[in-house]
Amino acid sequence: MTRVVDGDTIEVKTADGAEKTVRLLNIDTPETVDPQEPVQCLGPEASAFLKEQLTEGTGVDLTYDVEEKDRYGRDLAVVSTDSTSNISVDIARAGFGLPLGIAPNTTYLPPVQAASEEARAAGKGLFDSSNACTPAARTEKTVQAVDDALALGTGDEDAAHRSYVAVAAALAAARSLIAEITDHPDYPWPEDLRKQLEQRRGRAQARKQQLTEMGADQDPAQRRAADQREQAAAEQRAAEQRAAEQAAAEQREAEQRRAEAREQEAVPEAPAQQQEQQQPTPAPRQESSTDDQGYGTDADYPGYHGRRCYAPGGKRWKPC
């Protein structure tokens, strides 16, 4: 062995002097050398582990399955040494990689799978939930967030809204992590952990829809503030309407008073004018018994129906 490239790839020189790049069969470790990808969680640790197992100059044996090369031209082989029969099994047992079975190269897969289960049970490497970057830790955190959000009650509208906010945040976290796993299929993420995430995503999505139908997606405080603003605006409009109606009523009353005043001013003249217009001219008489002051009797003023001014005694009169 001449060089460790990363956690699952080495370079070797054969007995005849040929140089080969060998991809360890049936194991997948986090990336460290892909220029288009960031260094993945436990990638450096996986590389360091392999370097401890295979130091430069160590003699190795290569055992091939059905397909001997991958699409990049690398040899696909089980690598063994004097101290180990399959270095892929050792990597899986330490938790620095996951079993990878791509047909038809599955002959040597079972012992790698068994070693990975040992790592899972021991909480090693990728299964170490105390290491924040591992699939185990990230899955556990996301699953717990969803479960906690789903457990929140909806006793009143404020509690329901808090539940909605928590569920929405947990759902977003689950979706984000699943998208990250999907976008980076080369990262060794345990399938059972992926299924846990997808299950929680489904539950959170259903709960969010239920809370939305309840109206819990709206902030009660904001809704109450909006209701108060609308009520204040309605009261303002009503007050303005009342003021406008009052002003109109006062204007009508003022106009009515002015009209009545004009009518009252015209009343005293109307009868006098009417009497003057209707007062017939006294018929001339040929003989009158009036005295020198004009007092007479009805015979002296035939047809006169106007006002009368009487002489002392009240029997004789004259037109006023």
Q: Are 297 and 316 in contact (CB under 8 A)?
A: yes
Residue 23 among the catalytic residues: yes
Contacts of 264 (CB under 8 A, 6+ apart): none
Question: Could you give the CA distance from residue 202 to residue 207 in angstroms, rounded to a whole number?
Answer: 9
Contacts of 318 (CB under 8 A, 6+ apart): 290, 293, 294, 295, 296, 301, 308, 309, 311
Alpha carbon 6 to its chain centroid, in Å, reads 44
Question: Could you give the CA distance from residue 111 to residue 85 in angstroms, rounded to a whole number?
Answer: 11
Catalytic residue among 3, 11, 31, 262: 31
Residue 175 among the catalytic residues: no
Neighbours of 35 (CB within 10 A): 4
Contacts of 112-119 spanning 24+ positions with Cβ under 8 A: 112/26, 112/27, 112/86, 112/88, 115/89, 115/90, 116/92, 118/93, 119/92, 119/93, 119/94, 119/95
Which residue's entry shows tokens 């209701």?
227
Distances (CA, A) of 256 to 7, 34, 251, 264: 103, 95, 9, 12
Catalytic residue among 3, 11, 23, 269: 23
Strand order from edge to edge, sheet including 61-69: 3-6, 9-13, 19-24, 75-80, 61-69
Residue 257 among the catalytic residues: no
DSSP characters over 194-219: HHHHHHHHHHHHHHHHHHHHTTTTS-
Neighbours of 309 (CB within 10 A): 10
Catalytic residue among 3, 52, 74, 252: 74
Contacts of 173 (CB under 8 A, 6+ apart): 142, 145, 146
Q: Which residues are catalytic?
A: 23, 31, 74
